[in-house]
């Protein structure tokens, strides 16, 4: 399964639009918050199913975190602000283990991060609109096939 992973789009459609050709090719899109309304826009433009949570800049009455399965992998999706991800992934790691996640998708820092720890893959795709600590905007394509996880980092 091919999954587009975006976060921290912050209602900047001129940058979101650069992701659309890639996301149209996906089977599912994950949006890790800021701004939830962008997930609706992305869905309207791609017609691809989307899983999204709200971030610290969102006021929508939607879920702050989701746990769901893709290809026998348990995904934990959150924005990350409630887990102090700007200071590391320790709190996030604890929650990931509590829900038996294989993959954790989060945002908030606007900094791309791809790390595997204790057989859990952590993905922060960075920001499509307002990158920090890097000189590029980014998102990811997650491929899950036959139990294998492959992450493609896309710079725009």
Write out the DSSP string of the chain: -EEEEE---TT-HHHHHHHHHHHTT-SEEEE-SS-HHHHHHHHHHH---EEE---TT--SSS-SEEEEEETTEEEEEE-SGGGTGGG-SHHHHHHHHHTT-SEEE--SS-S-EEEEETTEEEEE---SSS--SSSS-EEEEEEEETTEEEEEEEE-
pLDDT at 77 over 90: yes
**Into how many domains does the chain fold?**
1
Instruction: Kindly report the number of other CB atoms within 10 A of residue 144's CB atom.
Output: 22
Answer whether 0.95 is exceeded by the pTM.
yes
pLDDT at 60 over 90: no
Q: Residue 30 maps to which CATH number?
A: 3.60.21.10
pLDDT at residue number 4:
98
Contact 142, 26 (CB under 8 A): no
Q: Give per-residue pLDDT as tens, 78-100.
A: 999 999 999 999 999 999 999 99
pLDDT at residue number 151:
97
Which residues span the domain enclosing 91? Answer: 2-155
């Amino acid at each position: 399964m091919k999954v587009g992973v975006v976060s921290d789009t912050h209602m900047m459609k001129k940058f979101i639009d650069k992701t659309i050709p890639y996301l149209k090719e996906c089977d599912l899109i994950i949006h890790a918050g800021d701004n939830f309304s962008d997930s609706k826009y992305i869905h309207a433009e791609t017609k691809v199913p989307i899983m999204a949570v709200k971030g610290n800049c969102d006021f929508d009455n939607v879920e702050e975190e989701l746990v769901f399965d893709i290809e026998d992998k348990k995904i934990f999706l959150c924005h990350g602000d409630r887990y102090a991800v700007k200071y590391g992934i320790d709190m996030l790691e604890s929650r990931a283990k509590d829900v038996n996640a294989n993959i954790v998708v989060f945002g908030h820092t606007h900094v791309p991060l791809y790390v595997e720890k204790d057989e859990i893959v952590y993905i922060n795709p960075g920001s499509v609109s307002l990158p920090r600590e890097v000189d590029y905007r980014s998102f990811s394509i997650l491929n899950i096939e036959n139990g294998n996880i492959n992450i493609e980092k896309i710079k725009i």
